[in-house]
Amino acid sequence: MQVIKPSIEIIDMEDYEKIVKKIERIGRVCYKSEGKITEDSAEKFIKGLLTRQHESVIEHENVTVRFVCDRGVTHEIVRHRIASYSQESTRYCNYSGDKFDNQITVIDLASGFQYDLSKENDKAKYEVWTKAMENAEQSYFRMLELGATPQEARSVLPNSLKTEIVVTMNLRSWRNFFRLRVDSHAHPQMREVATRLYEEFKKRLPVFVADLDIH
């Protein structure tokens, strides 16, 4: 059994300058103000759109992201309906195969829940979780040995099982995603990966998230 930390990867995101100029061109059609476009007018115009909550304009731009997380987190992600999803399938993946190093991979519980393993209670919880993951792996492989198909054997796999899901959303949907999933009330493991992505958006697409008030 392998234990890893979650991660995110932006697979497809256009150049920032191209995006803001594209959104400005589209948005100004609504106001017939194309004549006001200048070399540096795009960001100011987009800030105005977002201030007025005229967010439908930014739906014209998509960003695609790969999440490596546990299956429980993907149940949170796919609740965002205006999106496209492609996910690693436990029906077809046989984790006893060589390409999976003959083991299951799980997402570290201590990472998302911020366990302090120097504390006795956190250490005890982590040991219980680790044993449960090992038992699940043993049960999964035993099912396969008995002739079960992967889609049968997957019934014993844990929520902590590592999975990969590729998500494409438009910028308006990503803003809603961040409002809900970076918030302090979000599920800790969901917030862990959402916050990493949010920080990337702040660096790479600043005007589209700078106004978000997230606590």
42-51 and 16-31 helices cross at what angle (nearest 10)? 60
- What digits encode the pLDDT tens for the residues 72-93? 999 999 999 899 999 999 999 9
Residues 6+ apart with CB under 8 A from 84: 167, 168, 169
- What digits encode the pLDDT tens for the residues 200-212? 999 999 999 999 9
- In CATH terms, is domain 1-14+62-205 a member of 3.40.50.1010? no
Annotated catalytic residues are 181
State pTM to two decimals: 0.94
**Helix or strand or coil: residue 175?**
helix
What's the order of all strands across the beta sheet hosting 162-170? 7-12, 62-70, 162-170, 84-87
What region, left, alpha or beta, does residue 165 occupy, with left being phi > 0 and alpha being psi -120 to 50 degrees? beta
Query: Can you tell me the mean pLDDT for 115-142?
Result: 97
How do the domains of the chain map onto residue ranges? 1-14+62-205
